[in-house]
A and B are shown apart, each in its own frame.
Chain A
């Protein structure tokens, strides 16, 4: 970090502050709002605030966190939970691969990147991919950390507010709060359905889940994901 207090601020400090500044407005608010929904959803499924915060600190990837609660509430075995959460968060792998060359500084130990990878999630990733390449290389990892730690803090505050609100709100409002995450994900998914491969995967995944859920509630998510995704992938290639 800073080697001499009398010299100009280090690149790390400049990067960290600049990243935090980009995150602190709309991005942090939007993320906080979705975690308000998560806090309400989690409370509705019997989770205490401690667990909500624990999950957001350690996982911090909303679809997987919701899968975890959904399956746990359905009484699914832990193996099914682990596999389904992993499938729901698959997108993090290519995102992580793509962002590392942007924030890596040659000659620095790799553990720093493995640590930074914990905060790879959609919002911070998109902001870093947008702003990162325009910054000096020495600032980039710190820029990313400033950005994602700000978003992370916003998420935790959202969790607390949502969890509290679900206990205070009258029933119609708290149901609306619980419904916020499902509807938010549905619209995000709808927004993303540009190519045929995704569309087919979504249709197949939803269809398989609808058929399997009444018979195998603990495993329907996993089987619908693997089966529907593979079917969508192959069908789109075959149709081309």
Chain B
């Protein structure tokens, strides 16, 4: 899809402000909120849930050219990456190589 430059910059700027908000908030609250406390524990749960939802979207419902591959190829590559990661002493690099390698192989098939 094509974006108008001003809209895209607006989205990027809004994203940057939404990001700095937390960094500044962290400085401002300082020692008034316990980082090990319940409030930050809830924030961390929400952050992990967003991350999980994001990963699911990127793999199961991609917006870009990954959508040209069948869903089974994308999900299969993700599973392969997870298996490689768990078998190879939880090595993130090797897991990434396995997953992306599987995508390259799937995309090369006629």
Contact = CB atoms under 8 A, between A and B. Distances in A.
**How extensive is the interface on chain B, given as a class?**
35 or more
Contacts of A117: 20, 23-24, 26-27
Interface residues of A, number: 100
Nearest to A55: B12
Nearest to B47: A90
Contact of B43 (A47, A93, A183): A93
A103 to B, nearest CB: 11
B48 A202 contact: yes
Contacts of B103: 172, 175-176, 179
Interface in A19-69: 41, 44-48, 51, 54-55, 58-61, 63-68
Task: Tell me if A's interface is mostly helix, strand, loop or mixed.
Answer: helix
A169 to B, nearest CB: 10
A96 interface: yes
Contacts of B26: 92-98, 100, 117, 120
A84 B101 contact: no
Contacts of A118: 20, 23
A179 B66 contact: yes
Contacts of B101: 176
Contact of B52 (A100, A202, A230): A202
Given A63-B50, A81-B11, A187-B82, 19 more contacts: A45-B1, A58-B12, A58-B13, A59-B16, A67-B54, A68-B12, A82-B17, A176-B100, A183-B99, A187-B85, A187-B95, A197-B45, A201-B45, A202-B48, A202-B52, A203-B52, A210-B56, A225-B49, A228-B46
12 contacts: A82-B18, A87-B47, A91-B47, A93-B25, A93-B40, A96-B27, A101-B31, A175-B107, A182-B59, A187-B96, A189-B51, A201-B45
